[in-house]
Amino acid sequence: MSSRMFWVLYVMFTFSYAFGSFFQASAKTYASNIIPDDSYLSLVATIASFCRMLGFMWSIIMEKFNFRFAYFLVLAIQIGNAMVTPIVMRQEDESGFIMKKDWYMYANIASAIAQTSHTIFFPVILAKLYGTKGGLLAYTVGFTF
């Protein structure tokens, strides 16, 4: 765990995971002032929770391509959500309301799926760096403090 690569990965995953956690935790509160339909917001949150089961797709993407490409997809989803969501949600015209609801659903589902990537990527990368036993130890120690 004293290697530079471990700490680069740790910081990278921590910031990426923190954004996804914040987005997931505050999405309904953020949107409730813009989309006043609580049943719709709850439905979207429920669908996003079920979509977390698609997390296994990150291991398939990482195996078929590589870690850099898979992590690029995660970052693209998160950066897209961070940049586009405020723009879409600030639209004032009537036709924008449908777009707001559609974007809100996409952003939540995409964020939930992207959030699952961290539990797939980090243990695999650590196992490749330190071997199976060392990777498991680095993962458990790295996320206990």
Rounded to an integer, what distance in angstroms lies between the CA atom of residue 84 and that of residue 78?
10
- The total of other beta-carbon atoms located within 10 Å of residue 96's CB is 15
Question: How confident is the model over 104-126, as pLDDT tens digits?
Answer: 899 889 988 888 888 888 888 88
Domain boundaries, position 38: 4-142
Taking the model in full, what pTM does it have? 0.78
Please report the pLDDT score of residue 65 as a whole number.
92
The count of structural domains within the chain is 1
